[in-house]
């Protein structure tokens, strides 16, 4: 992983006999906030004051903000790619977006009910994971910090019967994961749709909605929630404090809207898609709702029309509900067999999934939509991807840093007892 250049560090003139304790605290914070996570974890052993500083939530927030700022300036970003089938023989890979070279490997430290995993979302180096298997999707939800090698199984749902007896009760959950900046809190949204007697998910049985707060370490029910459409559990993204799901269609055909949920006011809305969608979309089109350079986007991948290749359109939303406007960013023809986008990287490259051969093992490739240049990321899939991976100091104990949250090479209590 990249480390800050010495040229980025502040210049301070100090006496030859000066030590760290002679520096202003704000300067120490500024210097330490530029260091990589692994160095900071090791630095918690220096003395008590450094431990207190590095594990302080405000410092962690400062470090995240600087990491995000540096990522925008840096041309090299990283992706975390995990096989959907969990196995010690198939760990995750951290891959450089620029070179597609593998930087490191890391194993997911838990096993799900189905022995499969899906990255349901990521934010500031914290990943939200669940079962990829539809029968178990959304029942157990995990938060995982790959850098600190710490994970957390979220507590019991407010609706345990609906989640654990799906076939009899006819329920289907969808998930969302995002950051609520005003409260500095990471939240998971779970919407549980329930069949009525006519097998309708938005019929006479209202969906149940709950929100998990990492800060409070608990789920709570969102009362009187009005859900306008049924969200697709595989097609969702969180952008700027709102979670968006592509609407599920009973029959294959053009989508018309997106379901949104605002993490601040906890209200659902419906976002209409561009009017010109229907004119250029065939019955076999594949839709994905993605984040593109910090904006909500909808990608349409169509192989049903005679384009002499595969047609890809990318629409970007500007403004917010209800003042929404859409701009078509790309309309390009790709050669056959390329595949469809599943994520966009921080720099705007498309991470695409393509079918290699029968019996359909999949590969991941990176595509620069401007130059049409392709690079191989992984083969023999399927995979699940975090296309905006970053190192993070985020801990999982109600957002309070404790010694056990950091992977130290020796016992913290012993080291700190000798610190100044």
pLDDT at 377: 92
Alpha-helical (H) ranges within 338-378 are none
214 CB burial (10 A radius; 0-12, 13-18, 19+): buried
pLDDT at 253: 53
Tens-digit pLDDT string for the chain (420 aa): 655 554 555 555 455 566 667 778 888 889 899 999 989 999 888 888 889 899 898 899 999 999 888 877 776 789 999 999 998 888 999 999 888 999 999 999 999 999 999 999 999 999 999 999 988 999 999 999 999 999 999 999 999 999 988 888 888 999 999 999 999 999 999 999 998 888 888 888 899 999 999 999 999 999 999 999 888 888 899 999 999 999 886 655 557 789 999 999 999 999 988 877 766 666 677 888 999 999 999 998 877 655 566 788 899 998 777 778 899 999 888 877 778 899 999 989 999 988 655 555 688 999 999 998 899 999 888 999 999 999 999 886 544 434 444 443 333 333 333 333
Task: Say whether 317 sits in a helix, a strand or coil.
Answer: strand
The whole-model pTM stands at 0.86
pLDDT at 195: 87
Write the DSSP string, 23-81: S-HHHHHHHHTTS-HHHHHHHTTS-HHHHHHHTSHHHHHHHHHHHHHHHHH-S--EEEE
What letter would DSSP give residue 415?
H
Does residue 16 belong to any structural domain of this protein? yes
Cis-peptide, bond into residue 203, ω within 30° of zero: no
pLDDT at 410: 32
Does residue 356 belong to any structural domain of this protein? no
Q: Please give the tally of structural domains in the chain.
A: 1
Nearest to 3 by CA among 40, 33, 35, 43: 35
Cα first-last separation, the chain? 32
In 10 A of CB 111, how many CB atoms? 11
Does residue 240 belong to any structural domain of this protein? no
Does residue 34 belong to any structural domain of this protein? yes
The pair phi, psi for residue 165, each rounded to 5°, is -130, 60
Give me the domain span that covers residue 28. 6-69+399-416
Between CA 35 and CA 45 the distance in angstroms is 15
> Contact 234/340 with Cβ under 8 angstroms?
no
318 CB burial (10 A radius; 0-12, 13-18, 19+): exposed
With b for 16 or more beta-carbon neighbours within 10 A and e for fewer, the 152-177 pattern comes to: bebeebbbeebbeebeeebbbbbbbb
pLDDT at 304: 63
Between CA 98 and CA 121 the distance in angstroms is 22
Does residue 175 belong to any structural domain of this protein? no
Does residue 39 belong to any structural domain of this protein? yes
Between CA 405 and CA 393 the distance in angstroms is 9
> Contact 24/90 with Cβ under 8 angstroms?
no
Angle, in degrees to the nearest 10, between helices 25-32 and 57-73: 50
Alpha-helical (H) ranges within 127-213 are 160-164, 166-169
Instruction: Say if strands 208-213 and 268-272 run parallel, antiparallel, or are unpaired.
Output: unpaired
pLDDT at 420: 34
> Contact 34/9 with Cβ under 8 angstroms?
yes
Does residue 405 belong to any structural domain of this protein? yes
In 10 A of CB 409, how many CB atoms? 8
Does residue 58 belong to any structural domain of this protein? yes
Nearest to 339 by CA among 297, 378, 370, 371: 378
């Amino acid at each position: 992983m990249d480390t800050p250049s010495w040229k980025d560090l502040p210049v301070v003139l100090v006496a030859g006999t000066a030590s760290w304790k002679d520096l202003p605290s704000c300067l120490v914070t500024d210097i330490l906030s530029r260091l990589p996570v692994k160095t900071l974890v090791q630095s918690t052993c220096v003395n008590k004051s450094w431990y207190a500083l590095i594990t302080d939530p405000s410092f962690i927030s400062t470090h995240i903000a600087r990491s995000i700022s540096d990522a925008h300036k840096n041309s090299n970003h990283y992706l975390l790619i995990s096989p959907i089938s969990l196995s010690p023989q198939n760990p995750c890979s951290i891959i450089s977006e620029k070179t597609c070279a593998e930087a490191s490997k890391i194993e997911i430290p838990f096993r799900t009910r189905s022995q499969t995993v899906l990255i349901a979302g990521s934010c500031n180096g914290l990943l939200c994971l669940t079962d990829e298997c539809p029968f178990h999707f959304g029942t157990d939800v995990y938060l995982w910090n790959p850098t600190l090698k710490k994970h957390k199984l979220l507590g019991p749902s407010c609706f345990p019967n609906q989640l654990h007896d799906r076939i009899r009760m006819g329920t289907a959950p969808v998930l969302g994961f995002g950051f609520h900046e005003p409260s500095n809190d990471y939240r998971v949204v779970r919407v549980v749709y329930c069949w009525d007697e006519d097998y309708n998910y938005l019929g006479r049985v209202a969906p149940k909605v709950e929100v998990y707060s990492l800060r409070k370490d608990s789920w709570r029910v969102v009362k009187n929630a009005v859900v306008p459409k049924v969200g697709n559990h595989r097609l969702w993204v969180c952008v700027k404090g709102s979670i968006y799901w592509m609407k599920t269609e009973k029959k294959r055909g053009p989508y018309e809207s997106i379901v949104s949920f605002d993490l601040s006011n906890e209200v659902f809305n419906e976002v209409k898609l561009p009017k010109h969608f229907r004119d250029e979309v065939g019955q076999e089109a594949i839709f994905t709702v993605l984040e593109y350079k910090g904006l909500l986007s909808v990608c349409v991948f169509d192989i049903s029309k005679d384009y002499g290749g595969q047609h890809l359109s990318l629409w970007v939303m500007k403004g917010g509900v209800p003042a929404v406007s859409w701009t078509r960013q790309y309309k390009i023809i790709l050669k056959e067999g390329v595949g469809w986008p599943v994520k966009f990287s921080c720099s705007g490259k498309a991470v695409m999934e393509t079918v290699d051969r029968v019996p359909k093992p999949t590969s991941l490739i990176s595509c620069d939509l401007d130059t049409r240049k392709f690079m191989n990321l992984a083969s023999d899939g399927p995979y699940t991807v975090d296309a905006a991976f970053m190192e993070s100091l985020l801990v999982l104990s109600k957002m309070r840093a404790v010694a056990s949250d950091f992977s130290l090479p020796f016992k913290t209590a012993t080291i700190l007892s000798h610190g100044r």
